[in-house]
């Protein structure tokens, strides 16, 4: 087999350079996996023993794929190549040599859940409430410290510990490591830290490993943290045959310890290192690649590359500016429908990217409404997320005090000291007396020692009940839900936690409020009872799945972080506004902005054939509607590379932007600068029975499918179904989250042009 066949010039150079340090700068879509696997196969072909080759990457899936591809090229001998993740390699080293560093071979590996259990026990010992002092937050802080450069270089950890907590964090830290030692256990950070210590302090161990491994390959080098950097450096210090592969323009994980300096400084760290840039992109069209390139060139801390597209010019990069987030969602789904109709694309060909998980809600609503199957990568569907279900459970219980399922979900959320034993006692008291749990709480029927949290919960429910009675006469449903989030102390507890996870959960709660504001546009007199009923029906509807093939034929939704390493024919990169993308928490330093720009670059370069960049001029937040400026990343793309569209939706009310923007299209239409307006595609859904009709049918309806209409009570809606004929002709109209059926003859409806 000719290993060099089908490789371009720079790929061949990278494969053939086997001696000495080598940096392979692999731009997006440049075939780096092919280069890595062919390089390993070439080493074996030239006589290197497979077990002398050490290759690491970042996920088990990637490691398994690398191993398979090596074996497919090199044959069975490829199975002896040491292909692992960094953590797996660390476990191998510690199991075999750890005793030299005082680490027993039979150590246990603790995952995140195990860590939190240890921390819970420590908190109880210190008479701290694990429900109020979050073990997950403490575990996160401990990992941050152990992954830091200062800790690995020998700084006293007690001097590094935060002192802004209301409890003794230093004592928790000390006890944590005592217990881990007693349990002969290592967490994931320990695996790397202990390996660094072993290689640093046990020369004979390092020497033995260097005799075993003589050729080193590190994939995704831009994502390495300091401990991973040190492990690779120690192991390769003898042979210096280290090849690292990565792209500094795709370094997007600093929040989990990745240090871009590792790849930027490689040539300084390894004297006489060679650098090869894989300069052909095989994924994206020329226009997509050029747009991504002009954006990333605004970063100062990067290595210059001149990656060329191997494919044709392709379609222009589209930027659609919508009047609000509803218009953004409407544009995305209408475009999907249109492209599917015109170009015979499948659902699986489309991906919708967003900066934060909370942004998925609007797209999920539209996809569900249009019966388009979708999947969320790296997260739960919006209404399945814990914090959303928690607040909905509060509403359910306020509406129905006999709802014991909702009661037990919320009684200790946020934590009030009402543990399992207290809840079991409550259940027994209710059962023995034939009462509801709420009556036991309200009438104070529990005997013995009753947690103070019970009184707190009773007070919260009673106060919220009084507030609920004011809906909708005095306060809107959305305002009431804000009260639920605040008076339950849910928001306060997440703010106190102050982790990436808690901030994401806060965003989801804000988006839940936004969804209710949207609901109110169609149901201005909405009550909690009505909303709970409609949302329960709405979320119970399954996406249509006819066969196994359809299960994979879904539109993909994910954050841009989760999109790394993937590719799709059509990509929608959404929410490109200042404070949204780049995110408001990432604009305080030049380094943070540069990482956001790299994230944007990753998003654009996932697209193979088409990319649609979208932004909203008006976007709701917890504090109310906010006018948004287009992202600086859009402004960095020359207009010559953009096809600019404006999309105006009348949903959520009329935007003030209409009076301020002359170029705005008509309601429900996208208007392209220098092109004809693009209207949403009309299409027919339904079965073969003929019960659904479009405007060309002989149904006698004066409306067509997907046509916008105005109802005097329910406001603006869209026709989603037409059935029957004559006096019995029925219209099903979607008003946000609810569908309503009307007899056309007797219903006053106006068309919206």
pLDDT at 684: 29
pLDDT at 679: 32
Q: Look at residue 648 and tell me whether its pLDDT is greater than 90.
A: no
Least confident of 483-492, 567-576, 722-731: 722-731
Q: What is the pLDDT of residues 55-66, one digit of tens each?
A: 999 888 888 889
Residue range 99-115: mean pLDDT, rounded: 88
Catalytic annotation, pick one of 369, 606, 619, 632: 606
Catalytic residue among 18, 33, 423, 654: 33
Tokens for 215, please give them: 């050729």
* 3-state SS track over 547-605: CHHHHHCCEEEEEHHHHCCCCEEEEEECCCECEECCEHHHCCCHHHHHHHHHHHHHHHC
* 662 is a catalytic site residue: no
219 is an active site residue: yes
Catalytic residue among 116, 220, 249, 609: 220
Which among 116, 187, 219, 707 is annotated as catalytic? 219
For residue 737, is pLDDT > 70?
Answer: no
The chain-wide mean pLDDT, for the chain, equals 86
Q: Which pLDDT value is given to residue 681?
A: 29
Average the pLDDT over 473-483 and give the result. 93
Distance separating the N- and C-terminal Cα atoms of the chain: 65
pLDDT band at 669; cut points 50, 70, 90: very low
Does the pLDDT of residue 582 top 70, yes or no?
yes
Find which of 106-120, 121-135, 184-198, 671-685 is predicted with most confidence, using mean pLDDT.
184-198
Whether 37 sits among the annotated catalytic residues: the reply is no
Ranges 156-160, 457-461, 609-613: which has the least confidence? 156-160
Q: How far apart are CA 717 and CA 551, in angstroms?
A: 30
| Element housing 620 (H / E) | strand 607-621
Q: What is the mean pLDDT of residues 644-670?
A: 50
pLDDT > 50? residue 719:
yes
Binned at pLDDT 50, 70 and 90, residue 666 comes out as: very low
Question: What percent of the chain has a predicted confidence (pLDDT) above 70?
Answer: 89
Better pLDDT: 570 or 588: 570
Can you list the pairs that 443-446 forms with residues at least 24 positions away whose Cβ atoms lie under 8 Å? Answer: none
Average pLDDT over residues 356-379: 92
Q: Which tokens belong to 425?
A: 């006692």
Residue 579 pLDDT: 92
At 501 the pLDDT is 86
pTM for the predicted model, two decimal places? 0.76
With cut-offs at 50, 70 and 90, classify the pLDDT of residue 148.
Answer: confident
Annotated catalytic residue: which of 195, 222, 224, 250? 250
Residue 40 reports pLDDT greater than 50: yes
Asked if residues 11 and 34 have their Cβ atoms less than 8 Å apart, the reply is: yes
pLDDT, average across residues 540-554: 54
State the residue for tokens 């240090």.
259
Residue 723's alpha-carbon distances to 371, 688, 700, in angstroms, are 18, 13, 10
Average confidence (pLDDT) over 78-93: 92
pLDDT one-digit tens code per residue, 117-136 = 899 989 988 988 887 788 88
Distance (Å, whole) CA 515 – CA 510: 9
Active-site residue, 606 included: yes
Strand positions, DSSP E, 373-415 = 374-376
Which range has the top average pLDDT, 181-190, 564-573, 615-624? Answer: 564-573
- Catalytic pick among 10, 11, 32, 283: 32
| pLDDT(654) > 60 | no
The reply to whether 617 belongs to the active site is no
Residue 169 CA to residue 182 CA, distance in Å, equals: 20
pLDDT for the residue numbered 299: 96
Q: Could you give the dihedral angle defined by the CA atoms of residues 57, 58, 59 and 61, in that order, rounded to the nearest 10 degrees?
A: -30
pLDDT score for 114: 87
pLDDT grade for 658, boundaries at 50, 70 and 90: very low
pLDDT bucket at 707, cuts 50 / 70 / 90: confident
Could you give the 3-state DSSP secondary structure of residue 137? helix
3-class SS string, 437-502: HHHHHHCCCCCCCCCHHHHHHHHHHHHHHHHHCCCCCCCCHHHHHHHHHHHCCHHHHHHHHCCHHH
Q: What is the DSSP letter of 680?
A: P
- DSSP symbols for 198-224: HHHH-HHHHHHHHHH--EEEESSGGG-
Beta strand 607-621 with 568-573 is: parallel
Predicted pLDDT of residue 680: 32
What share of the chain has pLDDT > 90, as a percent? 55
Catalytic: 588?
Answer: no
Has residue 574 got a pLDDT over 70? Answer: yes
Tokens representing residue 326 in the block = 């509803």
The single-letter DSSP state of residue 522 is: H
| pLDDT tier at 11, thresholds 50, 70, 90 | very high
pLDDT digits (tens, 9 = 90+) for 313-366: 999 999 999 999 999 999 999 999 999 999 989 999 999 999 999 999 999 999
């Amino acid at each position: 087999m000719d290993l060099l066949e089908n490789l371009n010039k720079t790929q061949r150079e990278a494969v053939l350079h086997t001696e000495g340090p080598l940096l392979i700068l692999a731009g997006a879509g440049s075939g780096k996996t092919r280069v890595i696997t062919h390089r390993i196969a070439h080493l074996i072909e030239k006589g290197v023993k497979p077990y002398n080759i050490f290759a690491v990457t970042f996920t088990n899936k990637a490691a398994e794929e690398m191993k398979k591809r090596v074996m497919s090229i090199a044959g069975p001998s490829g199975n002896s190549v040491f292909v692992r993740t960094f953590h797996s390699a660390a476990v191998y080293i510690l199991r075999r040599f750890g005793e030299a560093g005082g680490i027993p071979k039979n150590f246990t590996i603790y995952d995140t859940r195990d860590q939190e259990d240890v921390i819970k026990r420590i908190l109880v010992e210190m008479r701290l409430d694990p429900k109020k002092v979050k073990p997950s937050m403490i575990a996160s802080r401990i990992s941050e410290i152990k992954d830091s450069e200062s800790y690995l270089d020998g700084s006293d950890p007690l001097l590094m510990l935060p002192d802004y907590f209301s409890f003794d964090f230093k004592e928790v830290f000390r006890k944590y490591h005592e217990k881990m030692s007693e349990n002969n256990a290592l967490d994931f950070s320990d695996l790397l830290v202990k390996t660094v210590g072993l290689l640093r302090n046990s020369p004979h161990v390092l020497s033995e490993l260097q005799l075993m491994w003589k050729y080193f390959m590190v994939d995704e080098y831009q994502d390495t943290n300091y401990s991973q950097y040190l492990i690779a450096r120690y192991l390769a210090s003898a042979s210096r045959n280290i090849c690292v592969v990565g792209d500094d323009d795709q370094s997007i994980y600093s929040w989990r310890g990745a240090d871009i300096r590792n790849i930027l400084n490689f040539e300084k760290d390894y004297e006489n290192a060679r650098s090869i840039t894989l300069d052909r992109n095989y994924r994206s069209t020329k226009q997509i690649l050029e747009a991504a390139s002009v954006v990333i060139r605004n970063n100062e801390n990067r290595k210059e590359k001149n990656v060329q597209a191997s494919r044709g010019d392709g379609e222009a990069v589209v930027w659609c500016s919508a009047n609000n987030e509803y218009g953004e969602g409407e544009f995305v789904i209408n475009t999907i429908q249109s492209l599917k109709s015109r170009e015979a694309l499948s659902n699986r060909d489309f991906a919708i990217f967003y900066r934060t998980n909370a942004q998925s809600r609007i797209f999920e609503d539209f996809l569900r409404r249009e019966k388009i199957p979708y999947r969320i990568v790296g997260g739960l569907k919006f209404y399945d997320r814990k914090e959303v279900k928690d607040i909905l459970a509060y509403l359910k219980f306020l509406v129905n005090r006999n709802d014991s399922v909702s009661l037990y979900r919320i009684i200790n959320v946020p934590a009030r000291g009402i543990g399992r034993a207290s809840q079991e006692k409550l259940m027994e008291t209710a059962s023995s007396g034939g009462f509801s749990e709420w009556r036991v709480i309200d009438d104070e029927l529990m005997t013995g020692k009753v947690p103070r949290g019970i009184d707190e919960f009773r007070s919260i429910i009673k106060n919220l009940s009084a507030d609920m009675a004011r809906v909708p006469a005095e306060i809107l449903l959305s305002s009431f839900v804000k009260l639920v989030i605040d008076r339950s102390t849910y928001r306060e507890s997440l703010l106190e936690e102050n982790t990436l996870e808690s901030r994401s959960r806060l965003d989801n709660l804000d988006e839940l409020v936004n969804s209710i504001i949207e609901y109110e546009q169609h149901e201005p007199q909405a009550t909690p009872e009505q909303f709970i009923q409609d949302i329960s029906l709405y979320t119970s509807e399954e996406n249509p799945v006819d066969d196994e093939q359809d299960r994979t034929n879904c539109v993909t939704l994910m954050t841009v972080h989760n999109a790394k390493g993937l590719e799709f024919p059509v990509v929608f990169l959404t929410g490109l506004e200042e404070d949204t993308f780049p995110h408001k928490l990432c604009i305080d330093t030049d380094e943070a902005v540069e990482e956001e720009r790299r994230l944007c670059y990753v998003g654009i370069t996932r697209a193979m054939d088409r990319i649609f960049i979208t932004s909203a001029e008006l976007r709701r937040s917890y504090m109310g509607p906010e006018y948004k400026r287009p992202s600086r990343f859009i402004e960095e793309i020359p207009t010559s590379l953009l096809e600019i569209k404006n999309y105006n939706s009348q949903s959520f009310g009329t935007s003030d932007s209409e009076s301020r923007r002359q170029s705005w299209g008509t309601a429900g239409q996208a208007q392209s600068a220098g092109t004809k307006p693009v209207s949403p595609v009309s299409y027919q859904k339904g079965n073969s029975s003929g019960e659904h009709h479009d405007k060309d049918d002989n149904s006698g309806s004066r409306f067509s499918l997907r046509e916008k209409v105005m109802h005097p009570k329910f406001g603006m809606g869209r026709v989603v179904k037409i059935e029957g004929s004559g006096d019995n002709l029925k219209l099903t109209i979607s008003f946000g989250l609810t569908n309503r059926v009307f007899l056309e003859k007797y219903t006053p409806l106006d068309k919206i042009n």
